[in-house]
Amino acid sequence: MSNFPDTIWHNGQFKPWAQATTHVMTHALHYGSSVFEGIRSYATPNGHAIFRLNEHIKRFFNSARIYDLAVNYTPDEIRAACFELLKKNDLTSGYLRPIVFRGPGSFGLGADNPTEMSIAAWVWGPYLGHASAQGVDVCISSWQRLAPNTVPAMAKAGGNYLSSTLISREAKRLGFDEGIGLTRDGLLSEGAGENLFVMLDNVIYTTTLGSSILNGITRHTAITLAKKMGYEVREQPLPREFLYFADEAFFTGTAAEITPIRSVDRKTFAHACPGPITTRIREAFFGLFNGTTEDEWGWLDHA
């Protein structure tokens, strides 16, 4: 994997890429029994900073609790490993991927095999590619999101991403950049790997934690920045057709950052893309890293 950095943290040790391996009988490979995080580090005027690292680590432990996966390292050990990994790989801005997974051992769904953990770091550009600034064209997927009381959407678990993969691959096959899933009730949920925001009449709407979404850290960031600017933000169930007459919309996510949406099902929004509210929130978000937005929340973690 030539474009990946040399060093990976695996089970407490820094290892060369080629040695960070596991067995084919790993439980997680067969049953999806892993939980992970996606975290970004940014170069800032005060040196590089990992964005909201503590919140990501907290969500990591919460996801692991849902599946009884033991994380054999403390939050402080994970923090230290993330910073050290960036250093070892000579990265300032980059993406970090901690994962804990049930390893090999006995076989069977309820097996209690010991877990393994790794952290990789690499440079990852805008997740939705060149369109991430001008706006992406998305569709409503024919695949629904995970229904409540089936596979928990609030766990960032490997197995959940089978749903996201179906949504994303269908969208790309049909010529879209990304797909949005609906809930079991047919209401808006979120993108394959992003939370969804919709603007109408100067009010900002986003779907609720009960809408089969991941509790996105960038979602929380966007809500906080928007409220600080004086916008009303409503977290509420949203019907699909809301998107067809809205003023503007955007996605949030660690990988996707703040990505404007240009069209849904080939219908464009009332405002040209990116719309004015999207632009303000996007600028405030990236301003955290270039120093034009004051980080009054302590989100930039310098170690």
**Closest separation in Å from C-beta 239 to ligand PMP:** 20
State which of residues 5, 135, 179, 193 lies at the interface with ligand PMP (CB under 6 A).
193
* β-bridge partners, 40: 95
**Closest separation in Å from C-beta 120 to ligand PMP:** 15
Cβ neighbours of residue 39 closer than 8 Å, sequence gap 6 or more: 50, 51, 52, 53, 56, 82, 95, 96, 97, 98, 254
Q: Which of 58, 87, 88, 156 is catalytic?
A: 156
Name which of 14 and 124 has its Cβ closer to ligand PMP: 124
E strands, the chain, in order? 7-10, 13-16, 34-36, 39-44, 47-51, 94-102, 115-122, 136-140, 178-182, 188-191, 195-200, 203-206, 232-235, 248-253, 257-264, 267-268, 300-301
For residue 207, state whether it binds ligand PMP (rule: CB under 6 A).
Answer: no
Query: Annotated catalytic, 172?
Result: no
For residue 38, state whether it binds ligand PMP (rule: CB under 6 A).
Answer: yes
**Closest separation in Å from C-beta 132 to ligand PMP:** 14
**Closest separation in Å from C-beta 24 to ligand PMP:** 26
Comparing C-alpha atoms, which of 232, 211, 108, 206 is closest to residue 153? Answer: 211
Judged by CB under 6 A, the chain residues 253 through 292 that form the site for ligand PMP are 253-254
| Helix (H), strand (E) counts: the chain | 7, 17
State which of residues 219, 258, 262, 273 lies at the interface with ligand PMP (CB under 6 A).
219
Judged by CB under 6 A, the chain residues 157 through 176 that form the site for ligand PMP are 164
Find the part of the chain contacting ligand PMP (CB under 6 A) among 7-15, 17-25, 130-138, 215-223: 215-223
For residue 217, state whether it binds ligand PMP (rule: CB under 6 A).
Answer: yes
Helix, strand, or coil here: 16? strand
**Closest separation in Å from C-beta 223 to ligand PMP:** 11
Name which of 34 and 254 has its Cβ closer to ligand PMP: 254
Cβ neighbours of residue 217 closer than 8 Å, sequence gap 6 or more: 52, 55, 56, 59, 254
Q: Which two tokens stand for residue 123?
A: 């440079």
Contact 98, 116 (CB under 8 A): no
Q: For residues 250 and 274, what is the distance between their CA atoms, to the nearest angstrom? A: 9
Find the part of the chain contacting ligand PMP (CB under 6 A) among 63-71, 172-180, 238-246, 248-256: 248-256
State which of residues 190, 211, 212, 250 lies at the interface with ligand PMP (CB under 6 A).
190
Name which of 103 and 191 has its Cβ closer to ligand PMP: 191
Q: Tell me which residues touch ligand PMP (CB under 6 A).
A: 38, 164, 190, 193-195, 214, 216-219, 252-254
Question: Which residues participate in catalysis according to the annotation?
Answer: 156
